[in-house]
Structure 1
Amino acid sequence: MLRIKMYPARNGDSFLVEAAGAFILIDAGFASTFQDFVKTDLASLSRDGSRLALVVCTHIDADHIGGLLEFFSSNGPEPHRIVAVDRVWHNSLRSMPLPPSGEEGVEGKLVLEALRRRGFGGPAAQGPISARQGSSLARLLWQYGYRWNEGDGTTCICQDQQPLALSEEVSVEVVGPSRARLESLRSVWLKEVAKLGYKGGEASADLLDDAYEMWCATLPQLQEPKARMVSANSNLRLTDIYAPDQSPANGSSIAVIITSAGVRALFLGDAWAEDTVARLQAAKPATGPILFDVIKVAHHGSYHNTSPEMLATVDAPCFLISTDGSRHGHPDFEVLAEIVDRPAPFERRLIFNYETAGAQRLRAHASRSGTPFSVHIADTNWISIGCKTQ
C-alpha cells in the first residue's frame, strides 16, 4: 500500500508520500504551506524515529520551491534538524556545470539585485521569499551538506539515470526532464541575464545560483498564457482547446514514478505532456493505456499540460488535482471531463485539495462513456492507495 498527503498549498503543490515505510516529500508549496502544515508532520515523523528518504523539488517555481526554501533554511545543519533527510533532488544552475571562466564581478551582483527587486514569485508568493536574502535552495543544500542529486549537486536529475531503490520494495524512476530541456532553460537564462548587464563568467557559483533560482521562480508567471475563462460552451472538448505548454521552467519539471510493493504512483509536477508521453510510450503495452494506481495531474489541471495523447497513454483509478483555483482558472474543466469521459473497467476517484469551480462543475457532469467517477475534497489526512492496479 501507498499513502499520500496532499497539502493545501494554495495554487501550488506539496505532497508527502509514505511508501512501505519510506517517506518522500515532493515540493512544499509556499513558505506558509510549510509553516502551517508540512512542518508539523515532519517534526512528528522525526519524533517517531522516521526520516525523509527523498525530497524532490520538481522545478524552480515559487509555488513549488517556496516551502522548500523555508524547510531547508530552518532544518539547518546536523545534529539539530527538524527531520533527517537522506537525499534531495533539485536541478539548479550548479547541477548543469559550465566551464569556469572568471569571477562574477560587480556586474553579477547588480544582476542579482535587479532580480531581487522583481520579487521571488511575485504577489502570488505572499510577498517575496527573501527573509534570508541570497539563500537559494542550491546554496542551502551545499552549505548544510545534504546529499544532493546523489552527490554534491554538480550533476542533474534527468531521464538518463537509473531508478533509485529506496528499499527492496520501493523505487523511484525519473520520467522527466530530459537533459535537453534543462540545457534549454539554462540557455534562456544566460540570454536574459545578459540583457540585465551580466558580463562575468559562466561558473556556477553561489551568486549565480541565487540569481538563477530567483529568475526561474518568476519565469512561469511571465510566460504562461493569460487565464482563460471557463467556456460557456459545454460542448468544447480537450481536443478543441489543447495547446502545449511553452514555459521552459515547467519543461524542466522533475516527474517521477514511485513504486511500492507493486503499487505505482505517477507524479507529474508541471511537466510538458509531450515529454512525458514520449518517455512512457516506449513501455506502453500493445493495447490500452499504461495503468497506474494514482496520477498527480500535471500543472494543477492546466489544459496546456494534459493532452489527449497523454490521456490515451496513461490512466488510473485515482487522480490528484492540487490547486485552489486562484490563478489561471485551474483546473480546466475540459481536462477533468476528458479524464472521466474515457471508458474504463474501474471507477475513478478525482481528489482535489480545494473546492474549485472545476470540481463543482464536474459533479454535475455525466461521463460520456458511462464509466462511474466520484469527486472528493481532501483534508490533510492520509489518502490510501490500495492494491496493485490490474
Structure 2
Amino acid sequence: MKIMGFNAKNGDSTYIRSNGGTNIIVDMGYSDTYKEYISNKIIEIEKAGENLDLLVITHIDHDHISGAITFLKDIHNGRYRKSTLKQIWHNSYRHLSMSTRAKASDEDYNIINTFLSRLSKHNSLITGAEISALQGSTLAGLILKSGVEWNKNFSYSPIIEGAEAVIGDVIIKALSPSEYILNKLKRYWRSELRKLKYNFEFAENEIFDDAFEFYLLNETEVDGSTPISVDIRDRFNALLDKGHMVESQNDTSVSNASSIVTIIESKNCRILLTGDAHDCDLVEVLTEQKQNGLNTDFDLVKLSHHGSKKNNYKWLQLVRSKYYLISTDASKHNHPDIEAIINIILSSPLDKKILCFNNDLEIISKINDDKLKKKYNYSIMRPNRDWGIEIEL
C-alpha cells in the first residue's frame, strides 16, 4: 500500500493506493493543495484508465474541504470524465435528519438569506459575494450538482460508527462519528439558530445545506499551542525525562468532533485516519474495539488535528503503529505541539516509531537528536517529494 501525505499547508489531504489499484483520497486541503498537487494525481489516475474510487471528506473545515470544492467544480465543468470519481463519503446537514418537509417556504428562504448575509460580514469565504450566487456553491451543493454518488455504500444515509464497505481490494470501516455525536451537532445547530432568533421549519432544500456549512466554517477555534522557540529543545528533553505522557485541555470544536474516522485495510496493511477527532471520542471507540477483541495495531496512524496536544493524548495508548503521520506546515497554532510528539514517543516506549512529516518544519531540528532517538526508540521521516511525503507500507 502506498500512502501520500500532500502538502496541504495547515490542512489535511491523504492519498491511499492499494496494491490492487484501488484509489482513495481522504480530505483535499485547500484549493491550492488541489490545484498544485492533487489534480496531477487525478490526471495520472485517469491516464492509467483507473478511477478515484472514493473521496472521504471527514468534516466541515476550510483546511479539509476547500480543495474538494474546487475539484467538484472541475468535475461539473467537464475537466474530468464523469466516471472519474465513483463515490463521496461526507456528512452534511441533510444527514442530520432535521428536515420536516420537502420544500422551504418563501418566508424561510428570506430568513436563511438574512442569516447568510450576516455570516458574510464575518467570513472571508463569502464576503462580497451575492447570496444568490452562494446557494449550491458549498461542498454539499456541488456534490448534488456533480451527480457523484453520495454515501452510496450506506443507502445515502450518514457515515457513522460501525459503517463498513468493501471498495475494490480495500475494506474501509468507520469508527466515528457516533449517532450521539451527530445528534449533538444537530442540537448545537438548532440552539445556535434559536440564539440568533432564527425560527423556521427545516426543509430539504439546498439552501439549508449552505447555511449549515457556512455556519460551521465560521466556528472560531481557540488553541493554546506552545510557540516554536529556541528553548523548545529544552522543553522536549524535560518532558521526555519526566517519562510520562502530557495531558492537555480537550478540543471543544463541534465540527472537529463530527470527523469521520476510518480504518483502511488491504491484505496485510492497516491504517487509521483520524480527521480532527477529539481525544475522548477516539478513546471511546478504540476501547470498544479492544474490548470486542478487535485489532488496534496499525502500520500507519495519522495524528488527529495536525498534531494538536488537545486531540492526541490517551487514545495513543490504545494503538500501536510503526508510522505516525503529521499533516501541517505550522502556519496555524504552531502545530504540531511538542506535547503531542511526546505522547507518541511515550505511548508505547518499547515500540520503534517513525514520525512522518509532510512539511519540513522547524520543530524537526529541535527533536532530531541521535542520542534521544536511540534512547526513546524513534526516528524521523522528512518530506521526500515536492508535494509532501510518500510512504510505502
The verdict on a shared fold, with TM-score over 0.5 as the criterion, is yes
**Using the alignment, how far apart are the partners of 1:51 and 1:317 within structure 2?**
29
**Using the alignment, how far apart are the partners of 1:24 and 1:192 within structure 2?**
35
User: How many residue pairs were aligned?
Assistant: 376
Give 1:146 shift: 1.4
* Deviation string, structure 1 residues 43-100 (Cα, Å, up to 9, x no partner): 1111111101110001000000010111111111779537611110111101112242
Equivalent in 114, 119, 128 of residue 118 of structure 2:
114
**Alignment-derived partner of residue 7 in structure 1:** 6
Written as runs of structure 1 = structure 2, the 5 A alignment for 1:96-245 is 96-100=96-100, 102-103=104-105, 104-119=108-123, 133-134=134-135, 135-150=137-152, 155-161=157-163, 163-167=164-168, 169-219=169-219, 222-230=220-228, 233-234=235-236, 235-236=238-239, 239-245=245-251
**Alignment-derived partner of residue 72 in structure 2:** 72
Distance verdict in 2 for CA 1:252–1:293, change over 3 Å: same
**Alignment-derived partner of residue 33 in structure 1:** 33
Written as runs of structure 1 = structure 2, the 5 A alignment for 1:218-297 is 218-219=218-219, 222-230=220-228, 233-234=235-236, 235-236=238-239, 239-284=245-290, 290-297=296-303
Distance verdict in 2 for CA 1:108–1:151, change over 3 Å: farther
Distance verdict in 2 for CA 1:62–1:372, change over 3 Å: closer
Give 1:329 shift: 1.4
Question: Could you list the runs of 5+ residues in structure 1 that have no partner in the other structure?
Answer: none
Equivalent in 368, 373, 376 of residue 370 of structure 1:
376
Question: Could you list the runs of 5+ residues in structure 2 that have no partner in the other structure?
Answer: none
**Using the alignment, how far apart are the partners of 2:155 and 2:140 within structure 1?**
8
Per mean C-alpha deviation after superposition, the further-off stretch among 180-189 and 64-73 is: 180-189
Distance verdict in 2 for CA 1:79–1:300, change over 3 Å: closer
**Using the alignment, how far apart are the partners of 1:241 and 1:164 within structure 2?**
35
**Using the alignment, how far apart are the partners of 1:40 and 1:245 within structure 2?**
34
Matched to 2:90, the amino acid is: H
8 Å contact kept, 2:246–2:342: no
Distance verdict in 2 for CA 1:227–1:384, change over 3 Å: closer
Per mean C-alpha deviation after superposition, the further-off stretch among 189-198 and 232-241 is: 232-241
Matched to 1:10, the amino acid is: K
Distance verdict in 2 for CA 1:16–1:267, change over 3 Å: same
Distance verdict in 2 for CA 1:121–1:205, change over 3 Å: same
Please state whether the residue corresponding to 1:59 is helix, strand or coil: coil
Give 1:40 shift: 1.4
Distance verdict in 2 for CA 1:153–1:304, change over 3 Å: farther
**Using the alignment, how far apart are the partners of 2:284 and 2:358 within structure 1?**
29
Per mean C-alpha deviation after superposition, the further-off stretch among 363-372 and 104-113 is: 363-372
Distance verdict in 2 for CA 1:336–1:240, change over 3 Å: closer
Distance verdict in 2 for CA 1:151–1:290, change over 3 Å: closer
**Alignment-derived partner of residue 330 in structure 2:** 325
Give 1:151 shift: 6.7
Matched to 1:321, the amino acid is: I
Give 1:37 shift: 0.9
**Using the alignment, how far apart are the partners of 1:5 and 1:82 within structure 2?**
24
8 Å contact kept, 2:75–2:146: no
**Alignment-derived partner of residue 50 in structure 1:** 50
Percentage of pairs with the same residue: 27
8 Å contact kept, 1:93–1:209: yes
**Using the alignment, how far apart are the partners of 1:55 and 1:286 within structure 2?**
29
Give 1:312 shift: 1.2
**Alignment-derived partner of residue 335 in structure 1:** 340
* Deviation string, structure 1 residues 8-35 (Cα, Å, up to 9, x no partner): 1110001111013100011111111111
* Deviation string, structure 1 residues 162-217 (Cα, Å, up to 9, x no partner): x21013x3100001111111121222122223344422211232111111111112
Equivalent in 360, 383, 389 of residue 390 of structure 2:
383
**Alignment-derived partner of residue 307 in structure 2:** 301
* Alignment RMSD (CA, Å): 3.0
TM-score (norm 1): 0.87
Matched to 2:359, the amino acid is: Y
* Deviation string, structure 1 residues 298-353 (Cα, Å, up to 9, x no partner): 1000001111x212101211111000001111001121122123555653221111
8 Å contact kept, 2:312–2:343: no
Give 1:382 shift: 6.7
**Using the alignment, how far apart are the partners of 1:47 and 1:120 within structure 2?**
36
Give 1:275 shift: 1.2
